[in-house]
Amino acid sequence: MPRTFDDAGYFICRGLVTAEQTEAIRQGLMRKASEVAASGDYGRDKILEDGAKASPDSVPLHERFRKLNQLDLLPELWNHWYAGAPVLEVVRHFLGDDILRKYASAFLKPARIGGATPWHQDIGLWRDRNDDAMNGWLAIDASTQANGCLQVVPGSHLGPILEHVEYEDSIHAELPRDRCNDLSVEYVELQPGDAVFWHSRLWHYSAPNRSETGRIGVGAVWVNPAQISQLTTAKRLRWAMRTGRILPHPAPELIVTTD
Ligand SMILES: O=C(O)CCC(=O)C(=O)O
């Protein structure tokens, strides 16, 4: 019997973004990486920061970061992913004809040194209770078991939101480690341009990259106007679609303030 999003809590769309568009996004991310490298701000990624500072020339630019944020203003990323026509056709099915892009990050897992993302439910990390937000991840590189593709526990979105824990060596809060042994996982292996979408409660993880090939993916969270009242912190959202019309880069912002 075919499995639905309701059953599994995730689904994959193959070839959602074309090879040319995927490559354009990669170039945009490399541009952004040069800007961040020039600013010397490596965020919380101490391993890469130490590596980059110790021998800047020997660490290629795209290997210096675990995560790139504030990607709103990359036109390629906006037009092909956050507000790409085939992408919004998928998101619209769940959120309707008015769609706001809430979150934008690229996840980089450099060859040999890329670290794990711990088991978590996205909603367990958010202060907002956007249970029905749509979460997506676009593969820029092939993402395989060898280079640390996403792993998910199908059906885990049907359970509760668990209290996430910040351990001494956590990169961010995570599901209690004693609950994460012997999980029945599925590996989300993707080719460039494939995307995976999941429910905010779905348990997911990615392993360290011990392989010789890097792995870049771009995450996104979309909400609809009905979900704005669930925001508990001030946010800058951007309109991706209004009444069924796609808003290309530079899309208007919606600034949400909370009292
Ligand atoms: O790219 C990864 O390895 C992790 C991505 C992730 O956990 C997320 O987008 O919530």
Q: Measured from the CA of 219, which atom of ligand 1 is nearest?
A: 9
Q: Measured from the CA of 120, which atom of ligand 1 is nearest?
A: 7
Beta bridge partners of 195: 13, 138
Cα(96) to ligand 1 centroid in Å equals: 25
107 lines ligand 1 (CB under 6 A): yes
121 lines ligand 1 (CB under 6 A): no
Report yes or no: 82 and 104 within 8 Å, Cβ to Cβ. Answer: yes
pLDDT of residue 44: 61
Nearest Cα residue to atom 1 of ligand 1: 107
DSSP 133-179: -EEEEEESS-B-TTTT-EEE-TTGGGSPPPPPB--TT-SS-BS-GGG
pLDDT of residue 2: 65
Report yes or no: 130 and 230 within 8 Å, Cβ to Cβ. Answer: yes
200 lines ligand 1 (CB under 6 A): no
The label of the residue with tokens 């593969």 reads 139
- The phi and psi torsions of 101 (rounded to 5 degrees) equal -90, 120
How far, in Å, are 32, 74, 170, 199, 227 from residue 141 at the CA level? 17, 18, 26, 23, 32
136 lines ligand 1 (CB under 6 A): no
Q: Measured from the CA of 116, which atom of ligand 1 is nearest?
A: 3
pLDDT of residue 230: 87
Nearest Cα residue to atom 3 of ligand 1: 206
pLDDT per residue, tens digit, the chain (259 aa), is 568 999 999 999 999 999 999 999 999 998 888 887 777 776 666 655 666 666 656 666 666 677 887 787 799 999 999 999 999 999 999 999 999 999 888 998 888 888 899 999 999 998 888 899 999 999 999 999 999 999 999 999 999 999 999 999 888 899 999 999 999 999 999 999 999 999 999 999 999 999 999 999 999 999 999 999 888 887 889 999 999 999 999 999 998 887 6
Query: What's the CA gap between 141 and 194, in Å, rounded?
Result: 10
103 lines ligand 1 (CB under 6 A): no
Q: Residue 195: which of 239, 118, 143 has the closest Cα?
A: 143
pLDDT of residue 69: 79
Q: Measured from the CA of 107, which atom of ligand 1 is nearest?
A: 1
Q: Residue 216: which of 42, 26, 37 has the closest Cα?
A: 26
pLDDT of residue 199: 97
Q: Domain 6-256, CATH 3.40.30.10 — does that match?
A: no
Q: Which distant-in-sequence residues (6+ apart) come within 8 Å of 199 by Cβ?
A: 5, 9, 10, 135, 157
Residue 211's SS3 state is coil
